Structure 1
Amino acid sequence: MAEVLGRSKLVLPWKGRRSVPPSSKRSPSLVAYRRSSSASPCSRPLRSSSLMKSGFYGERLAWGERIREEPVKERVDGLCVKMALCIGKGLKWWEKGVQPNMKEIQSAQDLVDSLVNGGNKLIIVDFFSPGCGGCKALHPKICQFAEMNPEILFLQVNYEEHKSMCYSLNVHVLPFFRFYHGAQGRLCSFSCTNATIKKFKDALAKHSTVRCSLGPAKGLEESELMALASNKDLSFRYTVKSMPVEQLSPVNPQEFIVPASRVSKSKESESKVLVR
């Protein structure tokens, strides 16, 4: 009886599952795979013994050489990429909503060059601090003004990164704004918050009109440039512009001769004042 069973290789039930005779492990066995046209075969086959442990949840099976599991791997790679993008560094509040006509100042030389190269544009310098609640609340409205007025240049100065420069420019209150225009230089300067935004609106309506200024852009005052140059913490150099000496016309010395009568009268008046 035992020999007959060995020759016929019958499958006997064991614990409710089908078992494979030991002799079948030596011979190549069939493998199962999902039908998928877009996937490439996997490198490791799945034997029939492991097939009983893996569930396909009712999907159609086909018998072949290898399992097509590449789509699952692609989905995992895509998920990793999305997770990496989500975990990326977020923008800071003063970097959100920034318009193309808004620029963050990097140094004192950058501020001077931006004002000089602005030409005939209206330039608004915005002094802010990352830890200032009023600056954070006012920032979205400043971005809206910049979007509605693309011809105006907005310069942002971070107070925490440029404290020494702000001290030289006499900026001690935040948020603080200064308006510059061409050869006229600085037009106005003031501090306002979200509650007093009317100051900014009035100054913007007053100075945003089209103007033609003759000559190059003035930028900072000479006293401010000298203060920046004398600041040891800043790598800024400024040379005082020499003013040309005007040629005076020859003066007639007789024009400056005072008559003696006038001199005596002036002395008498001075003595009278002293006596009183």
Structure 2
Amino acid sequence: MAEVLSKTSLLPSWHHHQYHQNNQSSISVFPKSCNYNKSRSFSCSLKLSPEISSPSLSTTSDFHGKNIAFQATSITSSQPHASSAVNSQQSGRRIGKALKWWEKGNQPNMKEVVSAEDLVESLSNAGDKLVIVDFFSPGCGGCKALHPKICQLAEMTPDVQFLQVNYEEHKSMCYSLNVHVLPFFRFYRGAHGRLCSFSCTNATIKKFRDALAKHKPERCSLGPTKGLEEKELLALATNKDLSFTYTPKPTEDVPAKEEVIVAEETPPRLPLPSATSKSAQVVTAWR
């Protein structure tokens, strides 16, 4: 009797399924026939709906070895653009990252130096191009006030290379280069090496403009690019805080010039008067 009740309990589920068939149910099962025989056993056969499409998930039921197919349904989000919104927010955080004041307004011809070797190579590879080394500090108020004008001048002179040296990150290197005041600038060009060096502020920007106008015109320098001076390179190489090596260039032996000593002619000396002649003159004058 318990088996009969378990079988008959499926009938309400069939009607419930037919009621929700229009609501896109994931299971389509229709009764074919139900028989109650004299042996008091209840048997049913099931007919599967042909509307079930693959891929489908099938399980084996106990209804005479028939298979019931369950249609795999996909759950769609009520917000189709949720993932794109999250990606845009993440990218917005990266794009909206606040720039530091010495990074604002930088031009393509402005480069921040990362090491002593980078500074030496940048000067050596510049050729005849004018290079301006800008020493600054993030905590320097004068450097911060002057930075926008330096960026404007860099935009007006794209053929000039600007190198930025952060004093706080390269204190030991600046000490070896004898930089002790900020903001500080040094001009380099070709075989001439260092042209000038000075410190200026927003109030004395004319000093920078005058130096730029003086050394900006194109010119050709004879010989290889000099860059830093020999004593500066040696100071960087002997600094234990820096990983910089430098081999001094061999000096050429210059033959010593032969000194020719010319004997100076001494003027002839006049003969000294003798004592007898003096006494004779004195006597003559007395007489």
**TM tier, smaller:** 0.5 to 0.7
Residue aligning to 1:208:
216
**C-alpha separation between the residues in 2 aligned to 1:242 and 1:22?**
101
Verify: 1:87 aligned to 2:87, yes or no: no
Verify: 1:131 aligned to 2:139, yes or no: yes
Residue aligning to 1:30:
22
Question: How far off its partner does 1:91 sit?
Answer: 2.5
Verify: 1:221 aligned to 2:235, yes or no: no
Residue aligning to 1:175:
183
Residue aligning to 2:200:
192
Q: Alpha-carbon deviations, 1:4-51, whole Å to 9, x = none?
A: xxxxxxxxxxxxxxxxx999655434339xxxxxxxxxxxxxxxxxxx
**C-alpha separation between the residues in 1 aligned to 2:252 and 2:261?**
26
Q: Alpha-carbon deviations, 1:73-116, whole Å to 9, x = none?
A: 33212211121122224332222222211111111111111111
Letter in 1 for 2:83: D
1:63-78 to 2 correspondence within 5 Å? 72-78=78-84
Residue aligning to 1:242:
250
**C-alpha separation between the residues in 2 aligned to 1:86 and 1:259?**
90
Q: Normalization by structure 1: what TM-score? A: 0.66
**C-alpha separation between the residues in 2 aligned to 1:97 and 1:145?**
11
For the Cα contact (< 8 Å) 1:31–1:67, is it kept in 2? Answer: no
**C-alpha separation between the residues in 1 aligned to 2:21 and 2:206?**
83
Q: Alpha-carbon deviations, 1:121-156, whole Å to 9, x = none?
A: 000001111222222222222111111111100001
Question: How far off its partner does 1:197 sit?
Answer: 1.4
Verify: 1:157 aligned to 2:165, yes or no: yes
For the Cα contact (< 8 Å) 1:181–1:187, is it kept in 2? Answer: yes
Verify: 1:122 aligned to 2:105, yes or no: no
Q: Percent identity?
A: 62
Question: Is the partner of 1:73 in helix, strand or coil?
Answer: coil
In our comparison, the structure showing a higher alpha carbon Rg is 2
Give structure 1 stretches of 5+ with no counterpart: 1-20, 33-65, 263-276
Letter in 2 for 1:86: G
Residue aligning to 1:256:
261
For the Cα contact (< 8 Å) 1:126–1:154, is it kept in 2? Answer: yes
Question: How far off its partner does 1:117 sit?
Answer: 1.0
**C-alpha separation between the residues in 1 aligned to 2:217 and 2:198?**
19
For the Cα contact (< 8 Å) 1:229–1:238, is it kept in 2? Answer: yes
**C-alpha separation between the residues in 1 aligned to 2:230 and 2:220?**
23
**C-alpha separation between the residues in 2 aligned to 1:133 and 1:24?**
83
For the Cα contact (< 8 Å) 1:128–1:174, is it kept in 2? Answer: yes
**C-alpha separation between the residues in 2 aligned to 1:24 and 1:129?**
81
Letter in 2 for 1:30: N
**C-alpha separation between the residues in 2 aligned to 1:100 and 1:137?**
21
Question: How far off its partner does 1:247 sit?
Answer: 3.3
Residue aligning to 2:9:
none
Give structure 2 stretches of 5+ with no counterpart: 1-11, 25-72, 268-287
Letter in 2 for 1:31: N
Residue correspondences, number: 206
Question: How far off its partner does 1:195 sit?
Answer: 2.0
Structure 1 residues 147 and 231 mapped into 2: Cα distance closer, same or farther (>3 Å)? same
**C-alpha separation between the residues in 1 aligned to 2:112 and 2:151?**
13
